Chains A and B, each alone.
Chain A
Amino acid sequence: MMDMLLETLGKVIIVALPLLGVVAYLILFERKVLGYMQARIGPNRVGVRGIGQPIADFIKAVCKEIIIPTASSRYLFILAPVLAVIPAFTAWAVIPFNENWVIANVNAGVLFIFAMTSLGAYGILLAGWASNSKYALLGAMRCVAQVVSYEIAMGFAMVGVLLAADSANLREIVLSQSGGIWHWFWLPLLPLFVVYWISAVAETNRAPFDMAEGESEIVAGFHVEYSGVMFLLFFLAEYANMILLSTLAVLMFCGGWLSPFEGIPILGPLSAKIPGVFWLLLKVSVFLFLYIWMRATFPRYRYDQVMHLGWKVLIPVTLIWIFVTALMVQYGIL
C-alpha cells in the first residue's frame, strides 16, 4: 500500500515539476515570439538572451503584496485561484507520454480530462464573483458563457475521435492511429480537428477569444483585483491549460508519441529508435507555437460573434462530421 502511494507520488512529482518549468519558459517563449512577430526582439536582458527572465518575473510576483479588497468575499477570493489551478494540473494524471508512461491508465480518460477542463471555469467564475468589482464580474460572466458554449463543440469533436478510435482510453486512441502520418486522425477528421483547435483556443481564453480578459474593454476581466502570487496562480492555470489542450490535440489528432515517419522505408526504422516522448513534445511545441502565432495575428472577436461562431457554426459542423465519421466507421474506411 505504502509502496504504491510513494510510487504514485513520485510519478506525480515527475510530471508536475517539469510542467511548472515548462509553464515558466512558455511565458518567455510567448514574449519572444510575440516580439519577433512585431519586428522586435523581446526580453533579452536577464541572463543570456533573456533566459533568466521567468525566474526574475517569478521572484517579482512572489515579493509583491497580496491585496484583498475590503468589499470582496474573502474566502472565495482566496479559494478561486486554487480552484483554477488544481483542475489544470489534475488532468495530467491520465495523459500518456509514451506507450506505458502514464500516471493513471484510465479507460474513461477523455471524459476525465473533459470534466477537469470544465471545472477550471468555476475558479474563474468565483474569482469574478468574489472580487466584487464590475469588471471582474463582467469578465467572469463572459468567460463562463464562452467556456460552456465551446465545450459543446469541443465535446462533439471528441465524440468523432471516440467513434474513430472505438475507445475512450487515451493510450488506445493513440495506438489506433499507428501507421504513419496519413493514419493519424487529423486527416479523416479534419473538420473536427479544426473545430477542436478553435474550441481549445476559446476554452483557454486566449486571443482572439480572450473575452474574459479583454484588457481594452474590461481592464483585465476576472483577475483585475488579484495581485502577487494569486495572480501568478491564474497565470499558471492558463498556461497549464494551454499545454494540456495542446497535448490533447496531439494525442487525439496527431498520433501522440508515434513517429511521423512510421512505414517509410529508411526513416521509419531510424525514427523508431528515438523515444516517443521526443515526438510528443515536438508536436506539443508546434501547437503551443500555433497558440502564440494566433495571438500575434488575430484581433479579438466581438462578444456576440464569439457566441455566433460557437453555436451556429462550430456545433453544426461537428454534428455533420460526426455523422460522416459514423458512416466511415460503418463502411470500414477508417
Chain B
Amino acid sequence: MAYFKTAKRFAKSFSLIELLKGLGVTWHFFVGKKTTVQYPEEQTPVSSRFRGMLAQRRYANGEERCIACKLCEAVCPACAIFIEAEVREDGSRRTITYDLDVFKCINCGLCEEVCPVDAIVLTSEMHYTIQGRGDNIFPKEKLLAIGDLYEAKIAADREEDKDSR
C-alpha cells in the first residue's frame, strides 16, 4: 500500500499536473474579460449617498436656507465649521460668517444629518483641488456658489434617497 502511495505521488509530481492546472487558471484570465476602468475617460458609478464636497443650498426663491442654528458647528467632530450669526434688517437670523475648513473636514456627513433645514449638504462631487495657501477655508459665498452650481444634482440625490432620510 505504501509503495502504491509513493508511486501515485511520483506520477502526480512528474506529470506536472498541478502546474498545468495553474497555467490553465491564468490562461482563463488571459482570454477573459478585463475589468480595467480607463479613469479620466470612464468612471465607476457613484452612489447618490456619496459624501463628497460640501455645499450650502438655497430655497427656490433664492433665499439661503441656513438659519444659523449652529447645530452643525456643535456636532462637527473635526471642528471644521466656524459660524458667526446676526439678525438681519428684516428680522431673520442669518450667518455673517460660515467658514468650512476642508482640511479638517472628514466628510462624515453629521452636519447634513443634523441640519433642520437641509442647508449644509454633501454633494457627490469628489474632483476638487486646493491650490493656494488659505484656499482650504471655504467661506459662505463659496459654499453657496457650489450649492448653486450643483443644485440639480443635489436635489436629485436627495429625491432618490428620500425614503431613508
Contact = CB atoms under 8 A, between A and B. Distances in A.
Interface of A: 33, 36-41, 194, 293-294, 296-298
A321 to B, nearest CB: 12
Interface residues on B, range: 10 to 19
B32 A297 contact: no
24 contacts: A33-B30, A36-B29, A36-B30, A37-B26, A37-B27, A38-B29, A39-B29, A39-B32, A39-B34, A39-B35, A40-B34, A40-B35, A40-B36, A41-B34, A293-B23, A293-B27, A293-B30, A294-B23, A296-B30, A297-B19, A297-B22, A297-B23, A297-B25, A297-B26
Contacts of B26: 37, 293, 296-297
A41 B33 CA distance: 10
A323 to B, nearest CB: 17
A293 B22 CA distance: 10
- Secondary structure of the B side of the interface? helix
Given A33-B30, A293-B27, A296-B26, 14 more contacts: A36-B34, A37-B26, A37-B27, A37-B30, A38-B29, A39-B32, A39-B36, A40-B36, A41-B34, A41-B36, A293-B23, A297-B19, A297-B22, A297-B26
Q: What are the 7 closest A-B residue pairs judged by CB atoms, nearest first?
A: A297-B26, A37-B26, A40-B36, A41-B36, A297-B22, A37-B30, A36-B30
Interface of B: 16, 19, 22-23, 25-27, 29-30, 32-36
Contacts of B35: 39-40
Contacts of B23: 293-294, 297
B29 A37 contact: yes
A39 B26 CA distance: 9
A284 B36 CA distance: 30
Contacts of B32: 39
